[in-house]
Structure 1
Amino acid sequence: MKYDVYGIGNALVDMEFKVNDAFFEQHGIEKGLMTLVEEERQEHLIGALHDHHQSEVKRQSGGSAANTIIAVSQFGGSSFYSCKVANDDAGHFYLNDLKENGVATKVVEDQLDEGITGKCMVMVTDDAERTMNTYLGITGSLSEEQIDVEALKNSKWLYVEGYLVASPTAQAAALKAMQLAREFGVKTSLTMSDPNMVNFFKDNMLALIGDGVDLLFCNEQEAMDFTGTSTIHDAREIMKKYAKHFVITLGKNGAMIWDGTMFIDIEPHKVDAVDSNGAGDMFAGAFLYGITNGHTHAGAGALASLASSKIVSQYGPRLTWVQAKEVLQELV
């Protein structure tokens, strides 16, 4: 089997809730970021939301790279995902959701380890900002064992989730995947994932980048934090040292792409944003689908911009199959 994109990242069951800023203040939650928490803390927060009669908006298989890899599949590409889930209800739910979305994986349901599948509590406020408190569970021990060498060898692109830099074993797995991809002639791509990953694990991020990746994804804040600059124009010049090509998403202002020769401005689509969760993941997935299926960088950027605009106008980090096809048809 040949794959357009081979992804490696955390496997988290996303539980999404609507909240207000007062909830953050009351419980000492840092808004707009991903924070790693222990299971007890996460259960306490979920209990507090239920006490306020807040129920989940959506439950889906997630993790940053998983959202991206599922998007590749929904647009019509072929994708593979390396991850780790436990032998519990959440783990079986996760694998079934991957399968239903056309994503191949090495994980076998009757060979799962005992433990607790990771969960991500996604809290969305009225300003569409997403805040995440994540309990990694068994995905925190993601390791080189989860890499499927043959699947990676038969892929066009490797896509690595930046969140992996927070775990020693996952960092080692990501480094091994990068090494193998380069040996096999598979193109390498990396997403920075979150400002916290850049600010607290920069050395690990630099190790993943090594002598440079073929494609780097980040948002405006991550780009400036990573390069130690105060303007996006300064940041993008420095980033040329780290990637042959890169994409910087700019929220409501669209995105900019460095195609190795010139910068391409990608226009945004005006929408009434309700939930920014997964917008960057969708942008990466649509873009990777585009460049592996005959689109130019500009064309892939246009597809990604439209797809991510659909994401922020609804709850949850994923389109339906019908929506994905509608996005493709809209650009024909």
Structure 2
Amino acid sequence: MATVDLFAIGNALIDQEFKVSDEFLAEQNLQKGTMQLTDGETQAQLFQNLQNSQVYKGQASGGSAANTTVAFSALGGSAFYGCRVGNDELGSVYLDGLNDAGILTSKKSISEGVTGTCMVLVSPDSERTMHTYLGITAELTDSQIDFESLKTAKWLYIEGYLSTSDSARVAVQQARQIAKDNQVKIALTLSDPAMVQYARTGLEELLDDGVDLLFCNEQEAVMYTQTETIEAALAALKSLAKTVVITLGAEGALVATAEEHIQVAGRKVTAVDTNGAGDAFSGAFLYALNAGKDLQTAAELAILISSQVVAQFGPRLAVADYPKLLKQLEVESV
């Protein structure tokens, strides 16, 4: 298998996006801004309710770590994505989409079952609320992941959503050990406040004895560390990661290591849909670090890319847009 810069493991989900009202979220008993797991029957009923009363915005291949990997690859990095899809039409659509974006996948990812789906509900304040039926990706195991290219990768990237799956956590432990044996750096994202609230033990297992790079947003940081301020949360998280990145929405991001503490301002855009913004941030940040850029530049690129994701519907930009934004930042920095 070809050598890659980034080896990522995550869920494989097809997103169905809708513009919804706050009243609809309340009627469906959904907590705004979080991800809720469900079964296939409940998912089908919600989909019907959405079609009957809300505004459909389209379908897109999603999955948190996959969105990150797309951003990384589109900016110029090489990447592999380990996941599990069903042997159905959506599974083919999903893997073909990754391959079209230049990302390597494995036939091991395909197995009997139904590909997962995520109803992405975008409220008037642009916040995304997710209702997820994991399908076969809930049963992701090491058997669906070809670890060969991890041995020569620069980074292993793990999404926190895997914390809910016993078998996926076992696969992550194997990946972590391979990474350690081959001096591959490890990055992880906490992914969602719901993971911190309901799957904390799983997240702790994914983090294990620490990582090189940890991504989270302000809410996740405070919740996970059980602190009351972002400063206290940052101090606590530095014991878990060599580099901690806390995204602050429109306010930008905080980046901290043992030696540096940087705050980078956000960019003003008209927010449309926050789905995928944090994922794009992580992909751009990882790309910049892998390209030898400093933390300040990495954060600036990540904020630029993620701000453009927020300004549109869908979790990803067109592949051609990522290098254009990279060039824009280079011009601005002259």
TM over 0.5: yes
2:238–2:257 CA contact under 8 A, matched in 1: no
For the structure 1 residues 31 and 152, does the alpha-carbon distance in structure 2 shift closer, same or farther, using more than 3 Å as the test?
A: same
Give the match's secondary structure for 1:46: helix
Which residue pairs with 1:180 in the alignment? Answer: 178
Letter in 1 for 2:19: K
How far apart are the structure 1 equivalents of 2:206 and 2:307? 30
Deviation at 1:146, TM superposition (A): 2.2
How far apart are the structure 2 equivalents of 1:106 and 1:81? 8
1:85–1:118 CA contact under 8 A, matched in 2: yes
How far apart are the structure 2 equivalents of 1:263 and 1:116? 45
Deviation at 1:53, TM superposition (A): 5.8
Letter in 1 for 2:134: L
Do residues 18 (structure 1) and 19 (structure 2) align?
yes
Which region of structure 1 is more displaced relative to structure 2, 311-320 or 199-208? 199-208
Give the match's secondary structure for 1:309: helix
Deviation at 1:322, TM superposition (A): 2.6
Which residue pairs with 2:140 in the alignment? Answer: 142
Which residue pairs with 1:37 in the alignment? Answer: 38
Deviation at 1:144, TM superposition (A): 1.1
2:108–2:144 CA contact under 8 A, matched in 1: no
1:11–1:84 CA contact under 8 A, matched in 2: yes
Which residue pairs with 1:86 in the alignment? Answer: 86
Which residue pairs with 2:100 in the alignment? Answer: 100
Deviations 1:114-135 (A, max 9, x none): 2110001100011000000000
1:147–1:177 CA contact under 8 A, matched in 2: no
1:84–1:107 CA contact under 8 A, matched in 2: no
Give the match's secondary structure for 1:321: coil
Which residue pairs with 2:61 in the alignment? Answer: 61
Which residue pairs with 1:49 in the alignment? Answer: 50
Please give the residue correspondences for 1:181-220 in structure 2 after superposition, counting only pairs within 5 Å: 181-220=179-218
2:15–2:61 CA contact under 8 A, matched in 1: yes
Give the match's secondary structure for 2:273: coil
How far apart are the structure 2 equivalents of 1:73 and 1:126? 31
How far apart are the structure 2 equivalents of 1:152 and 1:6? 6
How far apart are the structure 1 equivalents of 2:296 and 2:163? 30
Deviations 1:54-83 (A, max 9, x none): 32x121211000000011111111010000
Deviation at 1:25, TM superposition (A): 1.5
Which region of structure 1 is more displaced relative to structure 2, 322-331 or 309-318? 322-331
Letter in 1 for 2:3: K
How far apart are the structure 1 equivalents of 2:104 and 2:54? 37
Structure 1, unaligned runs of 5 or more: none
How far apart are the structure 2 equivalents of 1:127 and 1:199? 23
Deviation at 1:224, TM superposition (A): 0.5
For the structure 1 residues 143 and 108, does the alpha-carbon distance in structure 2 shift closer, same or farther, using more than 3 Å as the test?
A: closer
Deviation at 1:180, TM superposition (A): 1.4
2:108–2:146 CA contact under 8 A, matched in 1: no
Which region of structure 1 is more displaced relative to structure 2, 83-92 or 177-186? 177-186
1:165–1:204 CA contact under 8 A, matched in 2: yes
Alignment RMSD = 1.2
Deviations 1:298-329 (A, max 9, x none): 11110000001101011111111232122111
Deviations 1:208-233 (A, max 9, x none): 22221000000001100110001101
Deviations 1:184-239 (A, max 9, x none): 11000100001111122222212222221000000001100110001101100111
Q: How many pairs were matched up?
A: 329
Deviation at 1:147, TM superposition (A): 2.5
How far apart are the structure 1 equivalents of 2:297 and 2:188? 20
Which residue pairs with 1:154 in the alignment? Answer: 152
Q: Percent identity?
A: 47
Which residue pairs with 1:278 in the alignment? Answer: 276
Which residue pairs with 1:309 in the alignment? Answer: 307
How far apart are the structure 2 equivalents of 1:108 and 1:150? 12
For the structure 1 residues 212 and 108, does the alpha-carbon distance in structure 2 shift closer, same or farther, using more than 3 Å as the test?
A: closer
How far apart are the structure 2 equivalents of 1:248 and 1:29? 25
Give the match's secondary structure for 1:104: coil
Give the match's secondary structure for 1:103: coil
Which residue pairs with 2:265 in the alignment? Answer: 267
Which residue pairs with 1:327 in the alignment? Answer: 325
Which region of structure 1 is more displaced relative to structure 2, 221-230 or 45-54? 45-54
Deviation at 1:262, TM superposition (A): 1.2
2:212–2:241 CA contact under 8 A, matched in 1: yes
How far apart are the structure 1 equivalents of 2:238 and 2:52? 49
Deviations 1:83-142 (A, max 9, x none): 000111110110111111111012368xx3221100011000110000000000000000
How far apart are the structure 1 equivalents of 2:163 and 2:61? 21
| Structure 1 runs of 4+ with >6 Å offset | none
